[in-house]
Chains A and B, each alone.
Chain A
Amino acid sequence: MGLKIEKVSKHYGEKTAVDNISFEVNEPGVFGLLGTNGAGKTTTIRMMLGILKKDEGEITWNGKPVERKNVIFGYLPEERGIYPKIKIYDQLMYFAELKGMKKEEASKEIDYWLGRLKVEEYKNMTAEKLSKGNQQKVQFITAILHDPELIVLDEPFSGLDPVNTELLKGIIIELVEKGKYIIMSSHQMTSIEEFCSNVVIINRGKTVLKGNLKEIKNTYPAKTLEINTKQDISSYIKEFGMEIEKNIDNNYVININSEPKAHELIKKLVSQGIEIDKFELKKPSLNDIFIEKVSQ
């Protein structure tokens, strides 16, 4: 069940934009599609939605080809687009009708989403009069208005201020709770880490890493230990042969050689009666993993 991409390739003349990519999205939630600029993310998304024809491979939704008759999907493209001279309500209604909604139902949904995204006052204004952020919110409504099962969001937060980013994040969480399959492509690794349980990283058209984000991170050993105390513990750290990277008011960032040694240090500190306010073994972030993978 769900979306299955199997050995998909796309060539432009002699250039291979996507090379034998495979991944599966088999449960509701947010799936992260990561890659550098020009890695092949947008080409993969376009093939996924049937905008571009793939040269090789299979793309299926519940075992059937991804076509409008087999799956209701919503798409927020990276290239933001809107009819500049047409009223917001009219263009939302146009896309709603094209996606099979009835006028009355579409009208209700338009009002709901314009309100939910705090752009209801622009309903009867032409799009050219809106700020870029508000235009983006209108385009986001176009992608989800018709209650799609599969939602593809290409860089959904780019260009949004922190308030609107939080607003959009809240809606994405709601959509996940409703059981939607969301594929999110983004350069903002913190957003991906926040939402995605599974990811695929593409570099130069090829898959360089894929799987469950937690499991991936578990395969990477912790490299630093953070300890916040009220006392000076630098002598203990040196005793264990570790290096202090940073120390501000006894808030230590320590480079560790191995995780067991870090555990031993904490045990020692506790046994010596040192009050520890906070300690954390820091695994590499998705950002670190991403940079490492695409630099190879």
Chain B
Amino acid sequence: MKDLLTVMKFTMKDLVTRKSFIISNLIILGIIILAFNIPNIINLFTSDKESGDSNANQTMLIVDAENIFEGTLEQINNMNLGYPVKVSNENLSFEDIKTKIDNKEIDDAIIISNKNGQINLEYIVENLVMITEVPESIVNAITAVYTNLQISKLGLTPEQLQSLAPNFNFEMKQTEQEEVAGNPIVMMLMSMVLFFAIYYTAYQVSASITTEKTSKIIETLVTSTTPRTIVLGKTIGVGIVGLMQIVVFVATALICSALFVEEGTFDGLIDFSKITPFLGIMTIIYFVLGYAVYAFLYALTGSTVSKPEDVQTANGPVAIIAVIGFYLAYFTMANPTSELNKLAAILPISSPFCMPFRIMMGIATNQEMLISIVIMLVTIFIVAKISVRIYSQAILNYGTKITLKDMVNLYKSK
């Protein structure tokens, strides 16, 4: 037990004091802080633009010199377009509008005119680089105002008016019995974050073992402690560092969210009621179990190579398994009640990337969770046993890369 702690401590210290580790984590933290500040950065630039003229506040000017709309255009300001609309009946030319835009009095303008009975709308902006068509909202608003104006001239009764503007009541229902509620963006993000966290943390175990083999320190090490202690110590040590990284990243994200993001910004994207402490605990459990499965697989492949250039090839099969597991979870997430998604939640290669989302969506049953955890624990035990066995037999192989057949023979050997 003392040796296990010593190996763990040493592995952790080795990992966290590496320049590459420190730099990559600082970059990730920087990206998190930057990501939460994107709205502020955008606002910063926007407010700079606005500060030039207090009258210009994303304002649109509608010019109706011929009074085609008979003074009804002011109604547009009651239609919640998100920006104010000024109406003018003056006969303003294109040059007049250009001057107003240049002076930041307005951002854009629409000139309404009647040419041979055809109403013509001319949309004027500073440049058309990012604009391909007239905003649909203003087109709909102008159309509605004009329609109302014409209908009012027909002298219809309130009932007739009501029948022309029906207020439909839409409801959505699903044929599946299970009620699914989730945050698709959060789920996709979390799925990717969990995959990368598990994959790269587990990969460190392989890197650590290979380093010891390629630097030939292993022979001294195995006379100092048992192979089992080395594999377990490394796996736990690297796992703790990985978990600490996630905690630091999540804590940074939460702090950034509290400091830099205005309340309600993510309300349309995330249903915060679904992010519960239970979900947090289960996510950590699945991270730990998923990490253990992949870490022991990487310990196995790491111990079969003796040259740094063979590491990628040897780790290839584990990478493929991880990618299959991830995509199985990721693509079936669109149909969470499907049998395939249920399978992904139980398979040990995919359940760490799948089950947390089923829990978030409220469709994971206790039985499913229990089964998947038991299957993962059994898998971890079997993979760990094989890994320690192969590691013990293969660590002193400084020759060619060990093949699958060699591995089977090594496992069988005394």
Contact = CB atoms under 8 A, between A and B. Distances in A.
Nearest first, the 4 A-B pairs at minimum CB distance are A81-B216, A81-B217, A98-B224, A77-B219
A99 interface: yes
B220 interface: yes
Contact of B414 (A53, A97, A142, A143): A53
Interface string B10-32: 10011000100000000000000
A84 B220 contact: no
Contacts of B398: 79
A83 B223 contact: no
A73 B222 CA distance: 12
A151 B324 CA distance: 50
A52 interface: yes
Contacts of B183: none
A82 B6 contact: no
Contact of A83 (B2, B3, B217, B225): B217
A130 to B, nearest CB: 13
B186 interface: no
* Residue in B6, B18, B224 with the greatest tally of chain A CB atoms within 10 Å: B224
A99 B3 CA distance: 9
Contacts of A95: 220-221, 224
A99 B6 CA distance: 10
A72 B10 CA distance: 22
A248 interface: no
A34 B60 CA distance: 96
Given A85-B18, A98-B3, A139 B220 contact: yes
Contact of B222 (A51, A80, A90, A99): A51
23 contacts: A46-B396, A49-B223, A50-B223, A51-B222, A73-B223, A75-B219, A75-B220, A75-B223, A77-B216, A77-B219, A79-B398, A81-B212, A81-B216, A82-B217, A83-B215, A83-B217, A85-B14, A90-B10, A94-B6, A95-B220, A98-B7, A98-B225, A139-B220
A50 B219 CA distance: 11
Interface of B: 2-3, 6-7, 10, 13-14, 18, 211-212, 215-225, 396, 398, 414
Contact of A79 (B14, B216, B224, B414): B216
B302 to A, nearest CB: 16
Contacts of A173: none
Interface residues on A, range: 20 to 34
B396 A51 contact: yes
* Residue in B2, B10, B217, B414 with the greatest tally of chain A CB atoms within 10 Å: B217
Contacts of A53: 414
Given A51-B219, A51-B396, A53-B414, A90 B224 contact: no
Contacts of A94: 6, 10
Interface in A62-113: 73, 75, 77, 79-86, 90, 94-95, 97-99
Contacts of B2: 97
Contacts of A139: 220
Contacts of A142: 220
Contacts of B216: 77, 79-81
B133 to A, nearest CB: 58
State the majority secondary structure of interface residues on B: helix
Nearest to A98: B224
Nearest to A87: B17
A51 B218 CA distance: 10
Contacts of B14: 83, 85-86
Given A98-B3, A98-B225, A81 B220 contact: yes
B220 A77 contact: yes
B115 to A, nearest CB: 78
B224 A99 contact: yes
Nearest to B18: A85
A83 B223 CA distance: 16
Nearest to A53: B414
Given A86-B14, A95-B220, A81 B215 contact: yes
B13 A79 contact: no
A193 B227 CA distance: 37
Given A84-B215, A85-B18, 11 more contacts: A49-B223, A75-B219, A75-B223, A81-B216, A83-B211, A83-B212, A90-B13, A97-B6, A98-B221, A139-B220, A142-B220
Contacts of A81: 212, 215-220
A275 B311 CA distance: 73
Contacts of A86: 14
A86 B216 CA distance: 14
Contacts of B396: 46, 51-52
Contacts of B221: 95, 98
Nearest to A154: B219
Interface string A145-179: 00000000000000000000000000000000000
Contacts of A50: 223
Nearest to B217: A81
Contacts of A51: 219, 222-223, 396
A84 B10 CA distance: 14
A86 B414 CA distance: 34
Contacts of B13: 90
A80 to B, nearest CB: 6
